[in-house]
Amino acid sequence: MIELKNISYVIRENGEEKHILDNITYKFKDNCLTAITGHNGSGKSTLTKLIMGIYRPTSGQILLDGKDMTNLSIDERARLGLNYAFQQPITFRGITIKELIDIASNEENSVPKACEYLSKVGLCAREYIDREFDKTLSGGEQKRIELALTLAKKGKVTIFDEPEAGIDLWSFDRLNEIFSKGLCYIVVSHQERLLSRADEIVVMDKGHIIKSGKPKEVLKDLTVAKCKRAGGGN
């Protein structure tokens, strides 16, 4: 379980302090898919990068299974079982996809085993296993391969920043299969189809959590709020 205690994140912009996150307290449960949503600039991606250690909080604590990891590096968190899938995957010239799968899984995989990970994200494995993970791949291909690498990592906590970005409808439907392993998943998303599959939804606005709960109730409130902004309702 990931627990955030009074997490704040403040930066300096044009000589002034800017509060990106303000006193966030929340528990991300095990065996749970928690979706974080909200307007652009609400602090969603910043929050997940704080959990992974890409950023450091200005104040507060981040705990994994009750142990403080606030000051641990990205590598140390990765060794504890935290994974992070970026909205825009990082490419690597000179490294094949098979080699990346071996690195992700921390073992030497047979070709059939490595191909299983690619098949699960809808890729014809034999066409990709020996290719380099570079910019010759389309954005959708890169995204699918990163999802395959995430499957290979088998961590305790996996964070996805807008996993639906750049993938087609068929691949989007396969995301549900990827999220079915019973681990702690934290997903940043705007897509209602993905939000509706979550166990819990966290809604953020201006650096605060303004609502959390089961999809049925949260999505109902979000729909009402959108209608009011559009001029409908009372």
CA–CA dist 206, 163 (Å, integer): 22
The predicted-structure confidence for 177-203, as pLDDT tens digits, reads as follows 666 656 799 999 888 888 888 999 999
Predicted TM-score (pTM) of the model is: 0.82
Pick 104 or 62 by higher pLDDT: 62
Residue 105 pLDDT: 87
Distances (CA, A) of 124 to 94, 109, 120, 144, 163: 21, 17, 10, 11, 20
The predicted-structure confidence for 47-59, as pLDDT tens digits, reads as follows 999 999 999 999 9
Residue 64 pLDDT: 96
Lowest mean pLDDT among 13-17, 122-126, 171-175, 213-217: 171-175
The predicted-structure confidence for 113-149, as pLDDT tens digits, reads as follows 888 888 888 788 888 889 988 878 887 788 888 888 8
Which residue in the block uniquely carries the two structure tokens 């910043």? 46
Which residue in the block uniquely carries the two structure tokens 């750049």? 166
Q: Are 19 and 186 in contact (CB under 8 A)?
A: no
Q: Going by C-beta distance under 8 Å and a sequence separation of 6 or more, which residues neighbour residue 167? A: 140, 143, 144
Q: Are 162 and 190 in contact (CB under 8 A)?
A: yes
Amino acid at 157: V
Pick 151 or 45 by higher pLDDT: 45
Identify the band that residue 150 occupies on the pLDDT scale cut at 50, 70 and 90. confident
Pick 50 or 107 by higher pLDDT: 50
